[in-house]
Structure 1
Amino acid sequence: MRIGTGMLEIKKYNFMYAYKKLPIQMKASLWFVLSTVLLKGISFITVPIFTRLMDADQYGIYNVYLTWCEIFTVVGTFGFESCAYMCVLTKFNIKDRDEAESSLLELAFFLTTSLLLVFWVAGNQISKWIGLPKNIIMLMCVQIYFIPAVNFWSVKNRFQYKYKSLVFVSISMAVANAVLGILFLKNFFVRNQAIGRIFSIIIVQAVYGIALLNILLKEKKISISIKYWKWALKLHLPLLPHTLSLKILAGADKIMINTLIGATATALYSVSYSVAVVVNLIKTSIIDAIRPWIYTCLRDNKTDNVKNVMNGLLVFVSALTLVFVAFAPEVIKIVAPINYYEAIYCMPPVMISSFFTFLYSTFSIIEMYYEETKKVMVASISAAILNVILNAFLIPRYGYIAAAFTTLICYIFLAVFHFFMAEKVLRQHNISIGLFDGKMITGISLFLLISLGTFEYLYTKIIMRYIFIIVILLIIFVKRKYFINLLKIIRKK
């Protein structure tokens, strides 16, 4: 026992010593991944809780609210943290950063107030259009007011590698959101379940938003800078149709299913999206982690290893996607009651859509860095319009499952467009080394699309499905050296 204890102590010491020797960037990356895993766990646990606490139609209404909130957040904040604030942190000198930061927050506050006034004047008409009561629409603005503060603070902490505070806030916010939601549903909103769940989100967003806004503006001079307002609006006005189109693309399915079929069908469809949030959280974490690194590589003209790192990340994200596609029946049984089971057929296209959103998000980093925001607008608007047209044509004929496939088609379109656009922007700025491996991307994409059709067919044939999964695992085992080398490259960079 003493020998065993001694060995454990030595291993613990070696681990702690190795951890302390890691550069701050590596420590931050490790903790960002850990926080994502924890967030994934919280999200995964709460989905089955809320699908069982809430009636299907109430769960559908709640998801419609989330969709509209994302759309109106774009209008009410312009999403300055996605581009302008990134430029402030990477390109501005220290002297100008504070003024630019406070100016962007003030501009976001002004835009949200303008949105609130529109809701106040035309709330009844808007309520008819979107299917939510006017009082809920007004409360939505309360949530939107504090979204920029949370987003700005998160982006700033990622750039400064302050992983401890970011991990704490992310996890505690997710836990508070879930706990308060359960408390409200079980004690105060037994009948109006959707409203209770919405209230819990708004309260948590406001509390954290006020606290983080205070941190951001502490010891800063509050003054309106027209110069930075003009610069931010010039940069983001072309991005507004782009970002808004992406939100419509992501949310039009639920809105149109709710309108054309009903809230119960929306709930069934939303369950598959609730599972996809697991992959999306990891995907977002990866994008947030590599964005500062790619910005730095482009700034310092050191892009030699970007392709290898991206290949490794593509393999990781595609493997994670394939796991959820392969085990969709089992996953749906875990996260929802039996009456949600037919949602398994939404899982493959929804999950693979997440892979293509990862693709276009990585490509768009290049466009954002070089501030080529005008060039992406047409593609985003086209994808959103295409999605609405396909939904209007296919949902009444084939039901809510068709919406998952129309969304996948549109995300493939966006990924292809942004790939060629990113390549063009790099050539314009004399970057001769390719950052993305076109053959690798095409191969993985085709494999996932073939897997989609295969697993859709095999969901009713359990033995054949598991045989197919074993074959895939054997291929991975045979090619393990290749995958291990890719992981080593990612870890090193």
Structure 2
Amino acid sequence: MSTTRKLFQQTAVYGVATVLPRVLTVLLNLLLTTFIDTRQDFGNLSIIFSWIIIFNVILTYGMETSFFRFYSHSKSKKKVLSTSLLGLLATTTLFTIIAFLNLDNIELWSGKNSEYWRWVIGVLALDTLMVIPFAYLRAQGMARKYAIIKMIDVVISFVLTTFFLVFLSDIPVIQQWFPTDKVELFFIALFIPKIFLLLLLIKPYFHIEGFDFTIWKQMMKYGTPILVAGLAFAINETFDKQLIEWLSPGNSTAQAGLYTACYRLAVGMTLFATAFKLGVEPFFFSESKDKNAPQLYASITKMFVILGAIALVFYITLIDVVKLAVIDSDYYEAIFIVPYVLIAYFFFGIYQSLSVWYKVTDKTKYGAIISVFGAIITIAANVLLIPKIGYLASAITTCVAYGVMMIVSYLWSRKHFPIPYDIRSILLYLLLSIGATVVIFYLIRDSYGAGSWQQYVYGLSISLLVSAFILVREKNFILQLLKKNDS
């Protein structure tokens, strides 16, 4: 089987592992926006969720990517696994103790109920303890098992959230044992399945063969820039919600809720980018010693752009169908931010593919610099623009930040690890798909009305023309990529 076919098969499995849980998450988002009592409550939930993402990065401190790097190249694979597990176990235990001892201070600092944080700390701790076991499954090529366990997590969370928000109030015998605050109930529904998942993934912890301090130092040296990059990415991805709450005029927490709800309408492109990352990251490391690796990396990036460009135009055409399944109508007023977020995730997916150069050459400090630069753009532009144009500033800033990161990564890669990207075609498809997106959403949709038959007829026609142009132009490339055999 060709390496590229293997990659796309694994990406397809990771895609299923990502898509099916996200489908339930989409339905969950509709459930939350419908049954959470107010936009402000949903805003509080969204902001806490943003902090979860940031603390997930801090608590894992680059160990997932470090594990892939050292497990792939080390002759002492068991020592790498054991050292990674023990290191995260120790730091997670310390974090959990300190956090629970300071619940009141956390409430004062965040302005959010300490009862919420009690469950959030549990979620953070259990998620962190599962990072290396999940990475181990990916490193072993056990994509199906990875997919099944990920789906179990989301299915249980979805079922519990549905029960808590929709049916619990009708069962007084059970309700008396639970809080009435719906936001807290949501975090409880997130926490419970984590216990079950840890039991499914706990086996590596029973085969620990000691802690190798030399390996740990090497992993920390490699992973520290990834921590910085991950933290900067988390700021790019989530910190805008906090900034909206702090800087927006009027009911700022409710504004954050509106923004978050419509931000999630970009779920299609986020699924595509995430599935690609999960499939491609172990692959990049495993193929890094191959003499044909640069050409292969270039081909994979081009294929991502081809598929992403086609997905973008069709997705924006059908956005008024997607919204029915994602958010309650009370949140539709912020839908105008969606094209910016979709394009931002398209840029981010390309950036993830371009980032191979600093990962396989152990120059992860450049990834940290690029991400920090993106975070600076995110913070500065939001602080400047949110008071003037509200949450639209955050959508525009996300798009600009990821676009700049993509460009800078490409320019630096030419110097440090030249890869023969087909830049002319990539730029052409980017401009074509973004231009079509703008026309479909801001001209056709605005002119004929959201959900009108004209929107779908004209939008689908443009989407088919864009797709036909790209596929005809790249027919030979696609066939060659799929047929290429291992050399």
Do these two structures clear the TM 0.5 threshold for a shared fold by scoring above it? yes
Match of 2:96 in 1: 116
Q: CA RMSD in A?
A: 2.7
Structure 1 counterpart SS, 2:287: helix
Q: Which amino acid aligns with 1:200?
A: A
Greater relative CO, 1 or 2 (CA 8 Å, sep 6+): 2
Match of 1:193 in 2: 182
Match of 1:180 in 2: 160
Q: 403-412 vs 295-304, which deviates more?
A: 295-304
Structure 2 counterpart SS, 1:301: coil
Matching of residue 482 in structure 1 with residue 476 in structure 2: no
Per-residue deviation at 1:450? Answer: 2.8
Superposed counterparts of 1:444-455, under 5 Å: 444-454=429-439, 455=441
Per-residue deviation at 1:42? Answer: 2.2
Conserved in 2, the CA contact under 8 Å of 1:312 and 1:489? no
User: Whole-Å Cα distance in 2 between the matches of residues 26 and 405 of structure 1?
Assistant: 32
Matching of residue 355 in structure 1 with residue 346 in structure 2: yes
Conserved in 1, the CA contact under 8 Å of 2:310 and 2:467? no
Conserved in 2, the CA contact under 8 Å of 1:329 and 1:459? no
User: Residues 451-491 of structure 1, C-alpha deviation per residue, up to 9 Å, x if partnerless?
Assistant: 45432343322336742541331343355433544543454
User: Residues 346-397 of structure 1, C-alpha deviation per residue, up to 9 Å, x if partnerless?
Assistant: 1100111111111111111221121111223233222212211211221121
Matching of residue 461 in structure 1 with residue 452 in structure 2: no
Q: Which amino acid aligns with 1:374?
A: K
Determine which of 428, 441, 448 is the counterpart of 1:443.
428
Match of 1:207 in 2: 196
User: Residues 202-260 of structure 1, C-alpha deviation per residue, up to 9 Å, x if partnerless?
Assistant: 22223212431x22223333x33222221222122233222111101111111112233
Determine which of 41, 46, 56 is the counterpart of 1:63.
46
Match of 2:123 in 1: 143
Structure 1 counterpart SS, 2:292: coil
User: Whole-Å Cα distance in 1 between the matches of residues 156 and 230 of structure 2?
Assistant: 29
Determine which of 76, 83, 94 is the counterpart of 1:103.
83
Q: TM-score, normalised by structure 1?
A: 0.85
Conserved in 2, the CA contact under 8 Å of 1:75 and 1:240? yes
Matching of residue 311 in structure 1 with residue 302 in structure 2: yes
User: Whole-Å Cα distance in 2 between the matches of residues 485 and 131 of structure 1?
Assistant: 57
Aligned in 2, Cα 1:117/1:421: closer, same or farther, shift over 3 Å? farther
Q: Which amino acid aligns with 1:201?
A: L
Match of 1:299 in 2: 289
Aligned in 2, Cα 1:282/1:228: closer, same or farther, shift over 3 Å? same
Unaligned runs of 5+ in 1: 1-17, 428-433
- Number of residues paired by the alignment? 462
Match of 1:285 in 2: 275
Structure 2 counterpart SS, 1:209: helix
User: Whole-Å Cα distance in 2 between the matches of residues 150 and 277 of structure 1?
Assistant: 24
Determine which of 78, 84, 92 is the counterpart of 2:66.
84
User: Whole-Å Cα distance in 1 between the matches of residues 6 and 460 of structure 2?
Assistant: 39
Q: TM-score, normalised by structure 2?
A: 0.86
Aligned-residue identity in percent: 19
Per-residue deviation at 1:334? Answer: 3.4
Matching of residue 337 in structure 1 with residue 328 in structure 2: yes
Aligned in 2, Cα 1:306/1:377: closer, same or farther, shift over 3 Å? closer
Q: 446-455 vs 171-180, which deviates more?
A: 446-455
Determine which of 417, 424, 428 is the counterpart of 2:408.
417
Matching of residue 166 in structure 1 with residue 146 in structure 2: yes
Match of 1:8 in 2: none
Q: Which amino acid aligns with 2:291?
A: N
Match of 2:218 in 1: 231
Aligned in 2, Cα 1:420/1:478: closer, same or farther, shift over 3 Å? closer
Per-residue deviation at 1:28? Answer: 4.1
User: Whole-Å Cα distance in 2 between the matches of residues 347 and 483 of structure 1?
Assistant: 29
User: Whole-Å Cα distance in 1 between the matches of residues 288 and 348 of structure 2?
Assistant: 22
Structure 2 counterpart SS, 1:218: helix
Q: 286-295 vs 460-469, which deviates more?
A: 460-469
